[in-house]
Amino acid sequence: MDTILVVNAGSSSVKFQVYSVEGEGRLQRQIRGQIDGIGSRPRLRASGANGDPLADRAYPIEAVSDVPAAMTIAGEWLRNELRIHPIAVGHRVVHGGPEHDRPVLIDHGVVARLERLVALAPLHQPHNLAPIRSILAGFPSLPQVACFDTAFHRTHGPLADHYAIPHQLHAEGVRRYGFHGLSYEYIAKTLPHIAPDIAKRRVIVAHLGSGASMCALKDGQSVESTMGFTALDGLPMGTRPGQLDPGVVLYLISERGMSASNVQNFLYRDCGLKGLSGVSNDMRELDASADPKAKLAVDYFIYRIGLNAGMLAAALQGLDAFVFTAGIGENSANIRARVVEQLGWLGGALDPIENSRNSRLISRSDSRIPVYVVPTDEELMIAQHTLSLLMNGQSTNPRQERVS
Ligand code: AMP
């Protein structure tokens, strides 16, 4: 059986999935696993296609001290115990920089170019590249593909791509890239199957998870996003503030005496829903809490989604559909109901029964715009790109393929 391995490596976990390649290039998810607690309490957990448990084992901290060590353990488990020898590996890589508008087959030159982008995503890019490098060293002939969170947004025009700062900085790479691109690409490819007449029109997609952003789609292409140079901008998130006056950063440095790395940690780990509520970064806990600050955090989240919907509708010069996706968007009927209330002036009207059932279409039949819930699948997107690069030698234009 030919298989594709998909790897999503972060600072303390390596998530992986295995897909079998079926007839006509169809992909079937066979295994979902992860090693988390890297450097603290490492644990390998994996389940099969039907959710049946395949592994749950703890490792001593010194056996899994970093991401490459975790990749080695996952690889050995797959090879030695499950006899899985993938024909290719697809990786999630957060930053592709200005030049990558599609996935790319990896070689040493590509790794060197992606390495230069570490400064643009210091908390993610090094961890994404670590397993690529270790597989390249151990299995030099195994094809590897890098799939970027930024690539889908490379269709942005200059107005969406620039900040009002001197050109030299834009040339250096200080641009509004946008992120969550693999998720938006999946939605853009799925919409034609769900609502063919809508898919070609003006759609806002809200990816509401522990990271959160929104994307304006026109004819299935990204024209604007709430995220910019880094994944800090736009909507408030679990631990990130979203849009913030840069003067606040200056204040933290000049008045609070914070160093650059202190500010970085603060912005990535201590703000957002966690900072504002002082209770939790987890929407389920905030939803259940009676603490007024938890309520403020949830209200702020909803309010900012509404504001950003207005901004993206302006970019699109109108709105024909709204889509919810990711952890909160797919699961929280309460948050969805409150967001749709914010969309009333844009023509959104909720069907509370369909919403409580997590149905695909949750707007009333007389709603001017349909509102959908579409579960995202970034890993399937990576597996499809990897197979496509393997079969064609180059990626077909990612915006012209469709999810089957
Ligand atoms: P993700 O990053 O896409 O995995 O999403 C994680 C976020 O989804 C966390 O904030 C969770 O609290 C939130 N989430 C998952 N299920 C629910 C639910 N039923 N209600 C509210 N939030 C949820």
pLDDT digits (tens, 9 = 90+) for 234-248: 999 999 999 999 999
* Confidence label for 120 from pLDDT (cuts 50, 70 and 90): confident
Asked if pLDDT for residue 401 goes beyond 60, the answer is no
Asked if pLDDT for residue 404 goes beyond 90, the answer is no
Ligand 1 pocket: which of 34, 205, 287, 328 to mutate (most atoms within 8 A of CB): 328
Distance from C-alpha of 303 to C-alpha of 363, rounded to nearest angstrom: 20
For residue 343 and ligand 1, the question of a CB distance below 6 A is answered with no
Asked if pLDDT for residue 54 goes beyond 50, the answer is yes
For residue 120 and ligand 1, the question of a CB distance below 6 A is answered with no
SS3 content of the chain, % helix, strand, coil (to 5): 45, 20, 35
Ligand 1 pocket: which of 283, 285, 376 to mutate (most atoms within 8 A of CB): 283
Q: What's the pLDDT at 397?
A: 45
Distance from C-alpha of 231 to C-alpha of 264, rounded to nearest angstrom: 12
Q: What's the pLDDT at 400?
A: 40
Q: What's the pLDDT at 24?
A: 85
245 catalytically annotated: no
The answer to whether the CB of 155 falls within 8 A of the CB of 399 is: yes
Asked if pLDDT for residue 83 goes beyond 50, the answer is yes
* Confidence label for 94 from pLDDT (cuts 50, 70 and 90): very high
Lookup result for tokens 């490492």: 42
Read off the pTM: 0.94
If residue 356 lies in a helix (H) or strand (E), which one and from where to where?
A: helix 352-356
Contacts of the segment 38-45: beta carbons below 8 A, 24+ positions apart: 38/11, 38/12, 38/13, 38/14, 38/64, 38/65, 38/66, 38/67, 38/69, 38/70, 39/12, 39/64, 39/65, 39/66, 40/12, 42/70, 44/73, 44/74, 44/77
* Confidence label for 310 from pLDDT (cuts 50, 70 and 90): very high
For residue 287 and ligand 1, the question of a CB distance below 6 A is answered with yes
* Confidence label for 205 from pLDDT (cuts 50, 70 and 90): very high
Question: At what angle are helices 333-342 and 292-316 packed, to 10 degrees?
Answer: 50
Q: What's the pLDDT at 23?
A: 87
Instruction: Express as a percent the part of the chain with pLDDT over 70.
Output: 97
Asked if pLDDT for residue 76 goes beyond 80, the answer is yes
For residue 327 and ligand 1, the question of a CB distance below 6 A is answered with yes
Which of 56, 101, 149, 291 is catalytic? The answer is 149
Q: What's the pLDDT at 123?
A: 83
Distance from C-alpha of 303 to C-alpha of 319, rounded to nearest angstrom: 18
Residue 231 corresponds to which tokens in the numbers above? 């994944």
Q: What's the pLDDT at 25?
A: 85
The answer to whether the CB of 178 falls within 8 A of the CB of 215 is: yes
Q: What's the pLDDT at 228?
A: 96
Asked if pLDDT for residue 203 goes beyond 50, the answer is yes
Q: How far is the CA of 284 from the centre of ligand 1 (A)?
A: 7
Q: What's the pLDDT at 402?
A: 40
Q: What's the pLDDT at 396?
A: 45
Average pLDDT over residues 335-339: 98
Asked if pLDDT for residue 162 goes beyond 70, the answer is yes
If residue 194 lies in a helix (H) or strand (E), which one and from where to where?
A: helix 181-194
Mean pLDDT of the chain: 94
Asked if pLDDT for residue 40 goes beyond 70, the answer is yes
Could you identify the atom of ligand 1 that is nearest to the CA of residue 273?
10
